[in-house]
Amino acid sequence: MTGRLAGKVALISGGASGLGEGQAILYAREGASVVIGDLQDALGAKVVDQIISEGGKAKFTRLDVTSLTSWQAAVAFTVSSFGKLTTLVNNAGIFHPGGVIAETEQGWAKMISVNQTGVFLGMKAAAPELLKTGNAAIVNISSLYGLIGSPDAISYHASKAAVRVMGKGTALEFARQGIRVNTIFPGQIRTPILGDITPEQDAAIKASIPMGVVGDPMDIAHGSLYLASDEARYVTGAELWIDGGWYAGN
């Protein structure tokens, strides 16, 4: 531990699994107090136990990112637990495939609600507390699919592309008020969101990545750590793709 986030208090949505879990663990190792907000209570509690067993500080709160009142409760829980909120990570997200023909209105609405509206509501609920600290950071997790197209994921593309521009706009809104807002674009990272894939699909994914390997949650966590830390004090509205070179070929 080097304490790169010493004194920070972070609320991480979707912190019970995958990329959120990785960020929660690394943030805590670097000295942040972490609140994990997620729908998955048991998995969230497991991540909290791991952090505490490593000597870190963490708590879990049930959060549904599609609800402003749920977000407001999570922010209040964070402040009552650790005294302030300095860092928001909008990480929770869902994925299902489907192009224009296959996607349903319900599927579209669900995706937009979690991946896009969830990010708006998180920033809206957290902003009053972040503004109080005068030195705060928001890290939004988009996706390489927010930058490039594919034939089979229309609502996911729409939600993640929106997060891209929302991050830029919010960076400008708060540029002189002490909140930095940056966006990470993960490529293919091994987490439960990828679902069950066959060895053939796995081989095809790897073949599409210039570096030839699928990423690990810690690859994203290290980028997020930088953006959340004071090392990035002059960085706002930025876009960091962590993707094994995938975007370079597009």
Ligand X SMILES: NC(=O)c1ccc[n+]([C@@H]2O[C@H](COP(=O)([O-])OP(=O)(O)OC[C@H]3O[C@@H](n4cnc5c(N)ncnc54)[C@H](O)[C@@H]3O)[C@@H](O)[C@H]2O)c1
Enumerate the active-site residues: 156
User: Binding segment for ligand X among 126-134, 172-180, 189-197, 226-234 (CB under 6 A)?
Assistant: 189-197
Distance of alpha carbon 53 from alpha carbon 50, whole angstroms: 5
Candidates 33, 78, 86, 191: give the one binding ligand X (CB under 6 A): 191
Which strand ranges, in their side-by-side order, compose the sheet holding 9-13? 57-62, 33-38, 9-13, 87-90, 136-141, 179-186, 239-242
Q: Which residues pair with 136 in a beta bridge?
A: 179
Q: Which of residues 207-246 bind ligand X (CB under 6 A)?
A: none
Candidates 5, 10, 12, 14: give the one binding ligand X (CB under 6 A): 14
Minimal distance in Å, beta carbon 216 to ligand X? Answer: 10
Kindly tell me which of 5 and 11 has the beta carbon lying closer to ligand X.
11
- Which residues 6+ apart lie within 8 Å of 84 measured at CB? 9, 129, 132, 133
Kindly tell me which of 159 and 236 has the beta carbon lying closer to ligand X.
159
Return the C-alpha torsion angle 183, 186, 87, 177, nearest 10: -10
Site string for ligand X, 107-146 (x = CB under 6 A): -------x--------------------------x-x---
Kindly tell me which of 7 and 212 has the beta carbon lying closer to ligand X.
212
Kindly tell me which of 93 and 167 has the beta carbon lying closer to ligand X.
93
Residue 29 CA to its chain's centroid (Å): 18
User: Binding segment for ligand X among 2-10, 102-110, 186-194, 204-212 (CB under 6 A)?
Assistant: 186-194
Q: Residue type at 188? A: Q
User: Binding segment for ligand X among 51-59, 78-86, 188-196, 197-205 (CB under 6 A)?
Assistant: 188-196
Q: Which of residues 77-96 bind ligand X (CB under 6 A)?
A: 91-95
Tell me if 41 sits within 8 A of 59, measured CB to CB: no
Minimal distance in Å, beta carbon 220 to ligand X? Answer: 7
Residue 110 tokens, joined: 């669900």
Q: Say how many residues touch ligand X, by CB under 6 A.
A: 29
Distance of alpha carbon 30 from alpha carbon 216, whole angstroms: 19
Minimal distance in Å, beta carbon 233 to ligand X? Answer: 25
Kindly tell me which of 20 and 223 has the beta carbon lying closer to ligand X.
20
Q: Which of residues 51-80 bind ligand X (CB under 6 A)?
A: 63-66
Return the C-alpha torsion angle 164, 97, 212, 163, nearest 10: 10
Q: Which residues pair with 59 in a beta bridge?
A: 35
Tell me if 218 sits within 8 A of 191, measured CB to CB: no
Residues making contact with ligand X (CB under 6 A)? 13-14, 16-20, 38-40, 63-66, 91-95, 114, 141, 143, 186, 188-189, 191-194
